[in-house]
Amino acid sequence: MKRDGTAQMPLLIISGAILLILLGLLELPAALLRPAAVGLGTAILLLTLLWKRRQERRESEFANSVCETLDALMNGRETENYRPYEDSQLSKVQGKLLQYHDRTQAGRRQSKADKQTLQELVSDISHQVKTPMANIRMFTDILRQQELPEEKRAEFLSTLAAQVHKLDFLMQSLIKMSRLETGTFALHMENASLYDTIAQAVGGILAAADRKHIRIDVDCDSRETLWHDPKWTAEALGNLLDNAVKYTPEGGCVHVSVRPWQFYTRIDITDTGIGIPSQHHNDVFKRFYRAQSSAAAEGVGLGLYLARGIITRQRGYMTLKSEVGKGSAFSVFLLR
């Protein structure tokens, strides 16, 4: 192993001390011993002083290099004196400082992104709540301040109830979204009947499908089981079915099929609705996204967003195939 001058200094001092002892043991004449001892002692003293001075200089250079590295990191500059492939104490300390800086910067970026997301969420919620709240205030003022025929009053009350229902639906959706994004909802995974989960999801949209004379077909083995959370999976599938019924014209059809694969179980929900343009296939999963063609339909643009979030948190994924005027097919893949 290569030794520098600093490492050799203590060895020289010890060697000189040993030499002095040996000279004493040899019982040389005082006339010879005294000059040798004085000369050797002086040499040892000088070497000690030189070693101390060099050690102080090296410690000063080490501290200056570390300070230069810290100054560069604090000012956003590249560290000029960092040699990552050099096996030295300085390079090790600099490497740890760079690692700490990188982690700190990553935390700051994440904090900034979270803040931006929160601001967008507050803005979206404010925008979504504004319309039903304005309508509720308007109809309440009309009913309270004006004399209206009974028929007109019943009409306004019906409209007011619809706005309250819309606001309640919005708030429930926002609560689900909040729980999903903050991770406060708990998944209870179990090997449960997939047929029962789909039946629960279909039950939630049967009334809406009947009103539009839409046929619901389900192709699923009643013995099919799957490791999943029945409640939240039914929520996700229910959102997909609600979306299919909502955008399928009267007299259409919605088909649910289940196909077990080797590693995944595939659930297809196919409709004969208006379809989705290819350039918007990714947009439909965004929070509060509403296409212009669907502006007249009831909803707040959270159903597909929630569905994908629920499936993803069960280590599954979703795909979409759609063609304008011919319908859409949402496919859910869950691990077996």
Strand partners, 46: none
The percent of residues in the chain predicted with pLDDT above 70, rounded, is 82
Q: In terms of CATH architecture, what is 190-335?
A: 2-Layer Sandwich (3.30)
Please give the Cα distance from 164 to 132 (Å, whole number). 7
Instruction: Band the pLDDT of 35: cuts 50, 70, 90.
Output: low
Choose among 79, 80, 75: nearest CA to 98.
79
Higher-pLDDT residue of 304 and 48 is 304
Where exactly are the structural domains of the chain? 5-81, 118-182, 190-335
Query: Which pLDDT score, from 0 to 100, does residue 334 have?
Result: 95
List of residues 6+ apart from 20 with CB closer than 8 A: 37, 40, 41
CB-based contact 330:318 (threshold 8 Å): yes
Percent over 90 (pLDDT), the chain = 33
Query: So what's the pLDDT on residue 236?
Result: 94
SS3 at position 31: helix
The whole-number pLDDT of residue 161 equals 87
Q: Tens digit of pLDDT for each residue in 5-24?
A: 444 555 555 655 555 555 55
d(CA 324, CA 330): 14
Q: Lowest-pLDDT range, 124-133, 163-172, 246-255? A: 124-133
Q: Same fold for the domain at 118-182 and the one at 190-335? A: no
Which pLDDT band, with edges at 50, 70 and 90, does 138 fall under? confident
Q: Which residues of 8-43 are buried (b: 16+ CB within 10 A; e: fewer)?
A: ebeeebeebeeebeeeeeeeeeeeeeeeebeeeeee
Q: Which pLDDT belongs to residue 300?
A: 65
Find all residues with CB under 8 Å of 290, minimum gap 6, and list them.
Answer: 299, 300, 301
* DSSP states of 203-252: HTTHHHHHHTT-EEEEE--TT-EEEE-HHHHHHHHHHHHHHHHHTS-TT-
Predicted pLDDT at 214:
96
In this predicted model, what pLDDT tens digit does every residue of 262-319 receive, in sequence order? 899 999 999 999 999 888 888 888 877 766 655 555 656 788 988 999 999 999 999 9
Q: Does domain 118-182 have CATH number 1.10.287?
A: yes
- pLDDT for residue 58: 76
pLDDT at 179 over 50: yes
CB 238 within 8 A of CB 205: yes
pLDDT by residue (tens digit) across 189-209? Answer: 999 999 999 999 999 999 999
- Using alpha carbons, list the distances in angstroms from residue 128 to 57, 66, 233: 67, 53, 26
**Residues 328, 322 contacting (CB under 8 angstroms):** yes
pTM of the model as a whole: 0.59
Would you state the structure tokens that stand for residue 243, as one six-digit string?
């979306």
Two structure tokens written together for 168: 């309640």
As a whole number, the mean pLDDT across the chain is 80
Beta strands in the chain (DSSP E): 190-193, 215-219, 225-228, 253-260, 264-271, 317-323, 327-335
Given a contact cutoff of 8 angstroms between Cβ atoms, the answer to whether 66 and 97 are in contact is yes
